[in-house]
A and B are shown apart, each in its own frame.
Chain A
Amino acid sequence: MHSWHEFLDMGGYAVYVWPAYAVGFVVIAGSGWNARRGLQQALRRARRRAQEVKR
């Protein structure tokens, strides 16, 4: 590949390659972000419960 433009064009297949990778990114990275957020929420909830117990 010799140029940025050629790279984006994917030999004419851009309309297939990039949406595929976009969906892949959304699902895979998305599940990662979702997992991290879920864990943070769970920790927050556990913290709150611990404080209630202390009271």
Chain B
Amino acid sequence: MVRELLRRELLIAWRRPGEAMTPVVFFLVTSMLFPLGLSPEASLLRPLAPGVIWVVAFLAGMLGLQRLFRADFDDGTLEQLLLSPRPLTLIVLVKALGHWLVTGLPVVIGGGVVAAMLFVPARDVATVIAGLLLGTPVLTLLGTVVAALTVSLRQAAVLGPVLILPLATPVLIFGAHSATLAMQGRSAAQAFEALAAMFILAASLLPVAAAVALRISHES
């Protein structure tokens, strides 16, 4: 059943490539704005790179959050999911995974590309990618909770980011600085431990919260 649901999610994304590709395209385009707006100098861009990549990754993650539940809410699929005998938490987790595969993973890979373009040394690009790999799922999970809370609201697109970003600041801090520390030759172990801990916490608690939020939204 999990496989079925996941396949459905990916199929829907495949059929609507525009919707699915928006976050990663936004990520690449917006990252490009920084050299254009600041300077093409490697000495300026290199130290800024982790911060820029993570902030833009965050913003890209905010786009397309509504696609998690909005379409299902509108056409009644959500109701079916809520009535399903399967635990809603599991359903939510699968939806979040599908969403991340479509919108988060491309950003992880794109982050490596942007890092190289912003003059991050080759050996540190892997650190950037590793950090994004741990951090973007947490962001997706937070987004899942907020999307579940706001699925019935019209102004959800504006409210969502405002709700998520304060909650997600630790991910930004540890993610960006894991790369910065690596670039400075210092140990990024603490940062990665923190990212891993947040990933585990998020994966175990947030799907439950999102499931509860979905029921609340649906009852309105």
**Contact between A and B in the complex (any CB pair below 8 Å):** no
Instruction: Give the interface of B toward A (CB within 8 A).
Output: none
Instruction: Give the interface of A toward B (CB within 8 A).
Output: none
